Chain A
């Protein structure tokens, strides 16, 4: 069992984490943050395995991983 958190206020919706996640966990969200970006969000139903690939590539250090 694993999960990630994404700090929406740091996210610039670059999509690098979306490309990195082999499990399709991360999706572009609906909300807009203070910078005006549509931050990404985890889909809790998709079965995150805690591999950290998303967090490793995030240039904003917005993702934290729990396992």
Chain B
């Protein structure tokens, strides 16, 4: 028998620091698989956020740098401009990217910087105990919206792919849901497109991954998947919002 699926060597030989069922582990695995497949561990830099995603620093065996809250796009900009031979990706949660770091991501995308962003949307601030994020659904209960998010006082969920796709510069913007094995495979192909854009030096690419936070949603991982199908996928549909332009 032949081994047809194996743990990538670009992941440290230890369990993740994530809660059971947390899809941060899954997203980190996908990135580690791609880095291994393309043989670029020696020249890849992950710029990690403040948020649960920072715990991937113990997971990746290639270079990581941890940015201040929301500032991963600024750090990635500096890194990729000063070291153009490096493959740079930011790894950011929805609080990090959509709240405190909103202007950083918008301006980096608008400048078409040469890095890719992996955006983990779990509709909450996971690390700090489940407060409302910009991506929290209308009616969703969080510790800061105990009666459910009310658009009158808290606004509506922010759709980052749709917002960023209004800009001229980005080479690729897409969203995938990690709910099913097929969705995970589509997500990996989307991440592959974004990575190949980096390998060709074609500029900014953005991949949003619809995820779960079982701990703060207060649901089992299985029930989180149901909630995604019934709720979050309706607000955050999968799709490619902006495709690579012809490079002259």
Contacts and interface: CB of A to CB of B under 8 A. Distances in A.
Interface of A: 1-3, 7, 9-10, 12-16, 19-20, 35, 37, 50, 52-53, 55-67
Nearest to B22: A59
Pairs of residues from A and B, 5 with the lowest C-beta to C-beta distance, nearest first: A59-B25, A14-B21, A12-B20, A65-B5, A14-B20
Given A15-B21, A60-B25, A67 B220 contact: no
Contacts of A37: 20
B45 interface: no
A35 B181 CA distance: 26
Interface of B: 1-8, 11, 14-16, 18-26, 29, 32, 180-181, 184-185, 214, 220-222, 225
Given A15-B222, A53-B181, A57-B26, A2 B18 contact: no
Contacts, number: 79
21 contacts: A12-B19, A12-B20, A16-B21, A16-B225, A19-B225, A35-B15, A52-B181, A55-B5, A56-B185, A57-B181, A57-B184, A59-B16, A59-B18, A59-B23, A59-B26, A60-B16, A61-B7, A61-B25, A61-B32, A65-B5, A66-B1
Contact of A67 (B1, B24, B32): B1
